[in-house]
Chains A and B, each alone.
Chain A
Amino acid sequence: MRFILRRLGFYLIAFWVSITLNFLLPRFMPGDPVSRMFARNQDRMQPEQIEQLRKLLGVDDRPLWEQYFGYLHNMLTGQMGVSMSRFPAPVTEVIGSQVGWTLLLGGTALVIAAVVGNLLGILAAWRRGGAVDSALPPLLIFIGSFPYFWLAMGALYLFGVTLGWFPIRHAFSDTIGPSFSWEFVSDVGMHLVLPALTIVLVSIGGWMLGMRNTMIATNAEDYITMAEAKGLRPGRIMFRYAARNAMLPSVTAFGMSLGFVVGGALLTEVVFAYPGVGYQLLAAVQGLDYPLMQGLFLTITAAVLLANFLVDILYVRLDPRVRSN
């Protein structure tokens, strides 16, 4: 319990840091974001919105500490202002419509990569020098060396443009409206294949090598020798004794990736014009939509922290040693 509380405290600090970072950036960076924004969005903005924006970005006359507490209060109560590029939609509304797609894409890719990668790692460590152990690591390192967006471009070009197997942009076809029909679900699935595949390809090597190396370390432990001496069946030793212990570090890694996926899929989303928070973040940057940018950053951070906290709770369930002290 103390462990969980400590972690919770740590995440709160991290969240506070990200809010503060958000607060400080427009105030201490060179250049004046507000005037840049005015230049672009002048004609569409109402006077009270301009006033709001001044407050948000700190170009009003209140003292700094007052601005800071005002900002903290606004963020914690979900008042993130109005989006400029999607004027006059509130930032929270814009983000709300995007988060689902990122969770779908990132979640699918992460789960597939982690499960397959870890299984391959277990297999490679168990059969040292076997086919999986000798051929896959260098191949996966090589694939993993390509930039995300480049693999995404390659997949888009090869399977989308040239072969025409999969759609090349967006999360679902324009012709079908969102509904709970089989048609729509399968359409979403088809749109998901290429972006998810890209992420899986790049990240699977990390999982596999990580698991393999931890498994190798675990296999040298006395309790594995003892399990062998006990005459247990190989499958039982491999999963219940070796992998069960080797997975503990993997779980920690899973938590961190789970959160990062929200932001990390950004590049893939951009290539496929996939309407997630990453794609939106870039659009916000290009449209000088500072409120939306900040809102997205905070949302992504919050998601990362929340995911990590959930994994901490899972970790406590998995490792009895953490539970007791």
Chain B
Amino acid sequence: MTVSQTSLGSHEPVLEIKDLTVKYRGDTRSTTAVDRVSFSIGAGEIFGLAGESGCGKSTIANAIMRLLRDPAEIAGGSIRFGGRDVLALGKEELRRFRWQDVAMVFQSAMNSLNPVMTIGDQIVDIFTTHAGYSRKESLRRAAELLELVRIDPARLKSYPHQLSGGMRQRAVIAMAVALKPSLLILDEPTTALDVVVQQEIMAQIKDLQHQLGFSVLFITHDMSLMVELSHRMAVMYGGRIVETAKSRDIHTAPRHPYTQALMGAFPPLTGPRVPLTGLADGVKFSNIADLREAAPGHFVAPLPEAQAAVLQGAQS
């Protein structure tokens, strides 16, 4: 059975992406960064999107919030959120959709905070714009938010450069959940942080997810982190999804050679030590086919005969 890059999620998907294609248009040639990608995220589900840098995962995140800038544009497919067509939203609708329905935590907290505004003012901005609260009320709520992510409310008056890296990222997470969105996009939220802080931040996110019940689109190249956190996941390569299934299934039985290589490239956070293996030199996948259901709920892009043979040769 051939399914066009679809994975079957929970019954009522919050986010539904179908055949999404994003191109970067140049004056001479254009590059396809995301190629006919489909997936959906159910209510309260944590969905992981894994892959090496440059594979198109961040582009998908930006496409969902319609943040793509000039050379990049959505060339096809659809994005539906709670039944609404995101790509058809008007300017004002889009502005409200952002952060009220979907919020995002960016890769680098240092760069995503305005350096000349206090943390407090940057949170207050969200409340005054979307909820119409007074400044005083907004500040009170901002203080609550900081307490939620275990930052001293006195830090409201601090500027971004006065906080540590972990604190900044937690402040950004606080901002992201300010309006209780139904979907939170985490775009490599911990790459810039050291391992201990990484663990703290991830625990924080899990905690918040329990309390507030939002769905999560979690983007990372760190497979072990992803397997730990997400319910279901997809692995991307060159703008295509090569494998998608329950995280547990991918963890125990990765089927696509690229997934196998990715799993081997990161040490497991717990359990016995295993030697790391990666993708052999010079191995590239091209013309990735549509997904097929290899096992119940486990979809894999089949390899052409020739490629499979080459891969066999490279590995032996």
Contacts and interface: CB of A to CB of B under 8 A. Distances in A.
Given a CB threshold of 8 Å, the question of whether A touches B is answered with: yes
Interface of A: 221-223, 225-233, 236, 240-241, 244-245, 248, 318-321, 324
Contact of B112 (A226, A236, A248, A321): A226
A223 B113 contact: yes
Contact of B104 (A229, A248, A321): A229
Nearest to A228: B67
Nearest to B108: A222
Contact of B98 (A223, A230, A236, A320): A230
B125 A324 contact: no
A233 B129 contact: yes
Given A221-B111, A231-B100, A324-B161, A319 B116 contact: yes
Contacts of A245: 114-116
A240 B117 contact: yes
How many interface residues does chain B have, given as a range? Answer: 20 to 34
B126 A230 contact: yes
Given A229-B103, A230-B125, A324-B161, A318 B98 contact: no
Most chain A CB within 10 A, of B62, B67, B96, B116, is at B116
Given A230-B129, A231-B94, 7 more contacts: A226-B104, A228-B98, A229-B67, A230-B126, A233-B129, A240-B114, A240-B117
B299 interface: no
A32 to B, nearest CB: 57
B98 A229 contact: yes
Contacts of A222: 106-108, 111-112
Given A221-B111, A324-B162, A233 B98 contact: no
Given A226-B106, A319-B116, A233 B159 contact: no
A233 B65 CA distance: 15
Nearest to A320: B159
Nearest to B159: A320
A123 to B, nearest CB: 18
A227 B114 contact: yes
B98 A241 contact: no
B100 A226 contact: no
Given A229-B104, A321-B159, A241 B99 contact: no
Contacts of B106: 222, 225-226, 229
B98 A231 contact: yes
A223 B129 contact: no
Contacts of A232: 95, 125-126, 129
Interface string B79-108: 000000000000000111111100110111
Contacts, number: 78
Nearest to B130: A231
A127 to B, nearest CB: 13
B116 A244 contact: yes
B70 to A, nearest CB: 8
A228 B96 CA distance: 11
Contacts of B103: 229
Interface string B109-133: 0011111110000000110011000
A223 B115 contact: yes
A223 B114 contact: yes
A321 B62 CA distance: 29
A197 B297 CA distance: 74
A223 B112 contact: yes
Contacts of B301: none
A223 B62 CA distance: 14
Contacts of B67: 225, 228-229
Nearest to A248: B116
B126 to A, nearest CB: 6
A236 B129 contact: yes
A320 B116 contact: yes
A230 B172 CA distance: 11
A248 B114 CA distance: 13
B174 interface: no
B175 interface: yes
Contact of A321 (B98, B111, B129, B161): B161
Contact of A320 (B95, B97, B100, B161): B161
A86 B251 CA distance: 93
B274 to A, nearest CB: 36
Most chain B CB within 10 A, of A228, A319, A324, is at A228
A319 B172 CA distance: 21
B108 A233 contact: no
A236 B108 contact: no
7 contacts: A221-B111, A223-B111, A226-B104, A227-B114, A231-B100, A245-B114, A320-B162
Contacts of B130: 231
Contacts of A241: 114, 117
Contacts of A244: 114, 116-117
Contact of B99 (A231, A248, A324): A231
Contacts of B113: 223, 226
Interface in B201-237: none
